[in-house]
Amino acid sequence: YYGGPTSVTDAQWNTKFEVPYAGLGFQFYSVLGNHDYGGHYDTATAAIEVAYTAYSSKWYMPARYYTEPIGDVTVLALDTQSMQLGHGADQDAWISSAVAAISTTWTIAIGHHPYISNGPHGNAGEFDGMAGEGQPMKDFFDAYICGVADVYLAGHDHALQWMDVPSGCATEFIVAGGGGAGTYPIVGTNPALYEDSNNGFLWVEIDGRQFTGVFYDETGAELYRRVFTK
């Protein structure tokens, strides 16, 4: 942030990732966002983040989009920046076979841009209040993610939101974008179970057929908890 790394040896890897998370012993399943593409669509910058997987024991992004089974969960990682800018034909060709191969109890999709959000960026198909902005992403989600992924985790809007399950799309949509760089106000009117412009993070536990998600603020105080089963 702001413009992505310049190489796999860029000092930002240490200052912004390796050192801050040194005390955590698990992998980070990463996806590309607008800033990881240099703020727009710099594919060379994005490729550096994929390549860094070979240099780190924590960072995991084997491709721009991928699936990864982890116990009872499959992570379905998407490149929404390519998608929403109209460069998603390869993902369109990949997604059906990728989903068909999933055999785990849970499918958790992850991507940078939200499908629905009450932050200032808004919903796919009308990002930033512009009709048609991000329409390829909306079309992709309507066709391949709604009702297929149990949960979709996104960021982009710097806020914490747990949206009400939208009509016609049996997927839980969570925006956990409160990781830093200031917060964004809540301005939209999509039905939401919880929404606030706090800095903070989402903690998730999956136990059998039960999903527990908790929003915490930057001090570790609990803000909102939701438990559901499938």
Beta strands in the chain (DSSP E): 28-29, 59-60, 66-70, 73-77, 106-110, 151-154, 160-163, 172-176, 192-196, 200-207, 210-217, 222-229
pLDDT digits (tens, 9 = 90+) for 22-32: 999 999 999 99
pLDDT digits (tens, 9 = 90+) for 104-130: 999 999 999 999 999 999 999 999 889
Section 133-160 average pLDDT: 96
Q: How far apart are CA 178 and CA 151, in angstroms?
A: 18
User: Residue 107: is it exposed, middle or buried by C-beta count within 10 angstroms (0-12/13-18/19+)?
Assistant: buried
Q: Which pLDDT score, from 0 to 100, does residue 39 have?
A: 84
Amino acid at 222: E
| Average pLDDT of every residue of the chain | 96
Q: Which pLDDT score, from 0 to 100, does residue 122 have?
A: 96
* pTM for this prediction: 0.97
